[in-house]
C-alpha cells in the first residue's frame, strides 16, 4: 500500500508518517507548504526515510492519500486524489456545508473515508451518546468541547458530529446553536460550545439535563497518537475496498 501524507509537517501529519511507517505501510510521498525539501521521517522523529516534503500536490502518485491539513487545501487535495483514482483518508475538519457536499460528490469516484475523529475511544463515545439519547428524548442536551489554542475551526468537527447523532437519536427537530447571548431563554436546540487554550489535545462532554438529574458523558484525548493510529488503520482497511463511496470510522471498526 503506497501512502502519501498531506500536511506531513503538521502536528498530525508527523505522527501519521511515524505510525504509517511503524505499521509497515510504504510512505512514498509527503506534502506540505512548509518544511519543503526536508525528510518526512526526520520531521516525524524516526530518522530519514528518503521521502522529502514536496509542495506540489499535482505530483500525487500513491494508492491512498491521508490528509491532515486545512479545510480549503484539503478539498483541493481531495479533488486531485479523486481525479487520479487515489483512495482518500480525510482527517481534516472545518469544512463548510458546500465543501462537505463537494467531498461527498468526490466519493463517487474513489473509496473515501471522512472522519472528524479517528480515535477508537471517540467512535465508541459516539455509540454511547447515541444509546443514551435514545432513552432521553425529552432531556435538554448541550455539548462542550475543549482544544488547544492553535485549533482553527470551532466548534470541532467531532462536536458537530455528536450534535448530528443527538439530533437523529432524540427524534425531534433541534437547532444547533454555537453561540448563546442576550436575554432569550433556551430554545428547542442543542448548544455546541468550543473552549480554546494551551495545549489541550481534545475533550468532548455531552450533558443530558433532566428534572433533578443530569448525565455527563466525556471523552478525553491525552495525546494525538490515537488519531494517527486510527487514520493508519483506516488506510489499511481501504486496501481491500475498491468500491467508490463515503465510508466512516464506524465502517473501519466494524460497528
Ligand X SMILES: NC(=O)c1ccc[n+]([C@@H]2O[C@H](COP(=O)([O-])OP(=O)(O)OC[C@H]3O[C@@H](n4cnc5c(N)ncnc54)[C@H](O)[C@@H]3O)[C@@H](O)[C@H]2O)c1
Per DSSP, helices labelled H in the chain are 11-22, 40-43, 71-83, 97-106, 120-135, 157-170, 225-238, 249-253
Residues 215-234 that bind ligand X (CB under 6 A): 227
- Is position 117 an interface residue for ligand X (rule: CB under 6 A)? yes
Whose cell is 502536528? That residue is: 11
Q: Residue 90 CB, nearest distance to ligand X (Å)?
A: 8
- CA pseudo-torsion sign 172, 115, 239, 77: positive
Is residue 92 a contact point for ligand X (CB under 6 A)? yes
Q: How far is the CB of 132 from ligand X (least distance, A)?
A: 22
Instruction: Check: CB of residue 46 under 8 Å from CB of residue 17.
Output: yes
CB burial of 39-60 (b: ≥16 within 10 Å; e: otherwise) equals bbbbbbebeebebbbbeebeeb
Q: Which of 91, 111, 155, 191 binds ligand X (CB under 6 A)?
A: 91
* Residue 111 contacts ligand X per CB under 6 A: no
Smallest gap from Cβ 1 to ligand X, in A, equals 20
If you search the block for the grid coordinates 454511547, which residue do you land on?
Answer: 128
DSSP secondary structure letter of residue 184: P
What is d(CA 144, CA 58) in angstroms, rounded to the nearest whole number?
Answer: 39
Q: Residues 2, 22, 34, 61: which binds ligand X (CB under 6 A)?
A: 34
CB 28 within 8 A of CB 61: yes
Task: Please indicate whether residue 48 is annotated as part of the active site.
Answer: no
Question: Active-site residue among 147, 204, 219, 233?
Answer: 147
- Which residue has its beta carbon closest to ligand X? 10
Q: Out of 115, 142, 163, 170, which residue is the one contacting ligand X (CB under 6 A)?
A: 115
Choose which of 3, 4, 5, 9 interacts with ligand X (CB under 6 A): 9
Question: Pattern 134-153, binding to ligand X, x per CB under 6 A?
Answer: -------------------x
CA distances from residue 43 to 23, 39, 61, 67 in whole angstroms, order as listed: 18, 6, 21, 17
Report in angstroms how near the CB of residue 245 gets to ligand X at its nearest.
19
Residue written as grid cell 507548504: 33
**Residue 135: how many CB atoms within 10 A of its CB?**
12
- Catalytic (active site) residue 148: no
Of 92-100, 128-136, 162-170, 211-219: span binding ligand X (CB under 6 A): 92-100
Residues at the site binding ligand X, with contacts judged by CB under 6 A: 6-7, 9-13, 31-34, 57, 68-70, 73, 91-94, 115-118, 153, 227
Residues annotated as part of the active site? 147, 151
Amino acid at each position: 500500500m503506497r501512502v502519501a501524507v498531506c500536511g506531513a509537517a503538521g502536528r498530525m501529519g508527523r505522527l501519521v508518517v511515524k505510525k504509517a511507517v511503524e505499521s509497515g505501510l510504504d510512505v512514498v510521498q509527503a506534502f506540505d507548504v512548509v518544511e519543503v525539501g526536508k525528510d518526512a521521517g526526520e520531521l516525524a522523529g524516526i530518522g530519514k526515510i528518503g521521502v522529502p516534503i514536496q509542495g506540489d500536490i499535482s505530483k500525487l502518485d500513491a494508492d491512498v492519500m491521508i490528509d491532515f491539513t486545512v479545510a480549503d487545501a484539503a478539498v483541493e487535495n481531495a479533488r486531485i486524489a479523486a481525479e487520479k483514482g487515489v483512495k482518500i483518508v480525510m482527517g481534516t475538519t472545518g469544512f463548510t456545508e458546500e465543501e462537505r457536499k463537494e467531498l461527498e460528490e468526490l466519493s463517487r469516484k474513489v473509496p473515501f473515508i471522512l472522519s472528524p475523529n479517528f480515535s477508537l475511544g471517540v467512535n465508541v463515545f459516539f455509540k454511547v451518546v447515541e444509546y443514551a439519547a435514545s432513552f432521553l428524548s425529552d432531556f435538554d442536551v448541550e455539548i462542550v468541547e475543549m482544544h488547544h489554542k492553535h485549533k482553527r475551526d470551532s466548534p470541532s468537527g467531532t462536536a458537530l458530529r455528536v450534535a448530528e447523532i443527538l439530533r437523529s437519536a432524540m427524534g425531534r427537530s433541534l437547532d444547533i446553536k454555537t453561540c448563546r447571548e442576550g436575554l432569550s431563554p433556551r430554545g428547542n436546540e442543542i448548544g455546541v460550545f468550543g473552549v480554546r487554550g494551551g495545549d489541550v489535545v481534545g475533550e468532548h462532554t455531552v450533558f443530558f439535563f433532566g428534572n433533578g438529574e443530569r448525565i455527563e458523558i466525556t471523552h478525553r484525548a491525552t495525546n494525538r497518537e490515537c488519531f494517527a493510529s486510527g487514520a493508519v488503520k483506516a488506510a489499511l482497511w481501504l486496501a481491500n475496498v475498491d468500491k467508490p463511496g463515503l465510508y466512516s470510522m464506524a465502517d473501519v471498526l466494524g460497528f
